[in-house]
Every structure is written in C-alpha cells, then in structure tokens.
Chain A
Amino acid sequence: MRNQSPAGSSMTDPADPSSLMHDFDVTEAEISARKAFLEFGAEDVAKLQSLKPLAQRYATPMIEDLYRLFLAHDPTKAFFRDPKSLERVKQLQKEYFIGLTEGEYGTDYVERRLKIGAVHERIKLVVKWYLGAYAFYLRTVSRRIFDEHKNDPAKALDLISSLTKLIFFDMGLAIDTYIAQREKVIRAQQDEIRELSTPVLRVRDRLLVVPIIGLMDSARAYQLTDQVLRSIRAHRAKVVVLDITGVPTVDSAVANHLIQTVQASRLLGARSIVTGVSPDIAQTLVRIGVDVGKLHTLGDLQEGLVEANKILDEA
C-alpha cells in the first residue's frame, strides 16, 4: 500500500514491495547518490520552481510541437494511431512538463519516472526515440528561457543548467527501467532453459527416466542432482534411469557429480541405472579414476528400461 498524505506531497516508500523502486532496487541512498553526482541541490530546486509560470504558459504549445515531431516520423507515429489515446498521452506529457518545475523531486517523483520508463519499455518505444524527445524538450525550453531573459543571459544559462540536471536525472532512471525490464526477461528465460535442460520423465509408476542431453557443466550437474532427488520424493520413485547418450563429454567434476547423484538417490531409497555411456565417456571415466564399481551401467536406454521393469516387478 502506498502512503498517500492528503497534502499531495506523499512519499512512496522505496522499501514497499509493490513499488517499482523496490523492483528496480532504487533506494533513497541511490537517489541521493545520483543527485549528488549531477550536483543537483537546493538552489537547482529553487531555480526550477521559478520556471513554473513559464512552464504553465508554454506547456500547451510545447506539447503540440513535440507531437508534431512524433507524428512527422513513421517509427514514432505508429504509437499514436488512436486519437483518443493521443489526447491522453498529450495530457500526461503536459503534466510531466509542468511537474518538472514543481520543486518536489523525492521518491514519488522517482516512482513516477520509473513507471513511465516501464510503460515505454512495455509498448516497445525504444530508447532512441525517448532520448530524442528529451533533446527536443531541452532545446525548445532553452530557447524559451533565453527569450524570457534576453537581458540576462547568465541567469538564463543558470536556469537551463538546473533543468539539464533534472532531465538527465530523469533519463538515467528511465533508461535503467529499460535495462531492468530486459534483464528480468533474460533471467526468466534462463530459468526456463535451466528447467528444460533436465526433464525428469515418469515412465511408469515408481520409475523415472532422466535423458541428459548436451554439455554438462557443474552448475547444470548440480541442478540435475537437485531435480532428480526432489522428483524421487515427489513421485515415490524406486528406480531412476539416467540416460547420458546425448552427452558428448564429461570432466572429472561432472563425473563425480553423476556418482554423487547415484549415491544420494540410493540414500533416498531409489536405485539408479546409468545408460548410454559413449566410448569416449567410458574411457574418460576410467582414465580419471572414477570408481566405476559404484555405477550400475547398461548399454542403452532400452536395456535400462528392461532392467528397471525387472526390479519393479520383483518388488
């Protein structure tokens, strides 16, 4: 739940698990560090606040100009086909534009920035157009500020520099959300691949077959052990056939892991049969001194299944 105070100066708690700040690991310390690096301080806040009347005056023409730019280019035009949603985003842009001069750049502000970044990532509005829009903001607003302070260019420059800091702060946050969202997808896919890489198949009651395909590394071997042991308990398996026909090579670490899997399975009360040991792997196992007496091996999966059925039928 968000803490909303009636004054509107509500604070979003970065520790709140429903907030994007929590999702993207943006803490208050992180926000302060970013502002410090941009040398964004109290005087910048004051200067930005002083721009508010100007922002209010020019918000509508500014946004119209911005959307003329968007609509003049095919890649960005594609996002605004629906006139109703066009009006809605224009309104949001206007709020954002005036919000730049509100003087409140705390956690709520950050949360809103992250949300906008996340939405842009979701609708696949890529970073280049996003940054282009910021460039448009900066150069048009700078021109207005200069127009406003024709007689005091130093002051205009000061104001623009404060605005630049804030805009870069915003861009940093938005780009982070792009990256974080992609990373989330990559992580989810990696998990899926890992799951897929060691399917544990139930062939008949109390018999599991684990076809192992592709290169084994230690991480995958560990995951295999874990999955086999859990499956034995879940399916009350008595026999496990580990078929390594599809494994091109093994090293000593993986070979040891295979033996550990067999031994741990036995502690759970299941017998393991290893099938499909290729000539290469057989030679490797003997050469690296694996105690092959610990493994119950058979030529191929068919023989393994016959043996497994025999064990189960005897019981």
Chain B
Amino acid sequence: MKIPVLKQGEYLIASIQEAATDADLQLLLNELVRRVGEHRSKGVIVDVTVLDVMDSFAARLLRDIANTVRLRGAETVIVGIQPDAAFTMVRLGMTLDDVATALDLEEGVAYLDRTLKRKRGS
C-alpha cells in the first residue's frame, strides 16, 4: 500500500503505516525526493509513531531519505519514534546520528520552522 504524502505549506508530511513493507518505504523515498523538487518544499517530516519496532532496513531508509532530501535542498526530521523502537535501534547501532529527530508532528514542524528561520536569517 502506497504511503500517502501530504503537502502542508513548505513542508511535505508522510505518515508510515503499521503494515508498510520494505517496497512501500522505497517508493516513499522516490516519491519524497521527486516532490521536494516539484513543490520546492523546504522540509520533510516522516512520522513513525505507529511503528513499535524498527528493523535495520527501515532505519537505513530513514537515513537515506534524510540524506537524499538534503541533497535536494530540504531538511528532514523524523518524528514519533517510540521508546522501545528507539532502544532497539540504539542497541543495533542504528543511532541515526546525522538525522534530525523530534517527539511528534508538532515538534517536527517547530523544528523545521526554527531551522528555516535560522537559514534565512543568515
């Protein structure tokens, strides 16, 4: 099932569903990278609140999304990582050091607003 991507102002928002497969995630990456250019989006939010577990494929893909989107000129923030998922990821060494994270969608938007303001201010 295709993961829907919503456009909200300068941002694109994708909520990963529980049943998302590896293929769905790969499609999401393609879609986000394409639409960032199409809408000249400045930020991407990927919401993983419903995922109780995060396997290494999903973690790597989140990192790939962030890096690819950065090359396309936008910022990415991952929101809603659950405590159990976070702990498992860290134990498996998937710390996503170079990827921004936030508690939930609201925080993610606030983070992007701040980052963009800083970028534009300078």
Contacts and interface: CB of A to CB of B under 8 A. Distances in A.
The judgment on whether A and B are partners is yes
Contacts of A19: none
Contacts of A260: 87, 90-91
Interface size class on chain A is: 10 to 19
A269 B83 contact: no
A151 to B, nearest CB: 76
A226 B101 contact: no
Interface in B76-115: 78-79, 81-83, 85-87, 89-91, 95-96, 101-104, 107, 110-111, 114
Contact of B90 (A232, A263, A269, A315): A263
A68 to B, nearest CB: 63
- Classify the secondary structure of A's interface with B: helix
A267 interface: yes
Interface string A265-287: 11111100000000000000000
A232 B81 CA distance: 11
Given A263-B95, A315-B110, A269 B87 contact: no
Contact of A229 (B78, B87, B110): B87
B61 to A, nearest CB: 15
Contact of B87 (A226, A238, A270, A315): A226
B107 A269 contact: yes
Interface residues of B, number: 21
Contact of A230 (B83, B91, B101, B107): B83
A233 B87 contact: no
A141 interface: no
A263 B95 CA distance: 6
B13 to A, nearest CB: 16
A236 interface: yes
Contact of B86 (A236, A238, A267, A315): A267
Contacts of A230: 83
A264 interface: yes
B103 A229 contact: no
A21 B107 CA distance: 51
Given A226-B87, A229-B86, A260-B87, A267 B81 contact: yes
Given A226-B83, A268-B86, 11 more contacts: A230-B83, A233-B82, A260-B87, A266-B95, A266-B101, A268-B83, A269-B101, A269-B103, A269-B107, A315-B110, A315-B114
Closest 9 CB pairs of A and B: A229-B83, A269-B102, A267-B86, A264-B86, A269-B103, A264-B90, A263-B90, A260-B90, A263-B95
Interface of A: 225-226, 229-230, 232-233, 236, 238, 260, 263-270, 315
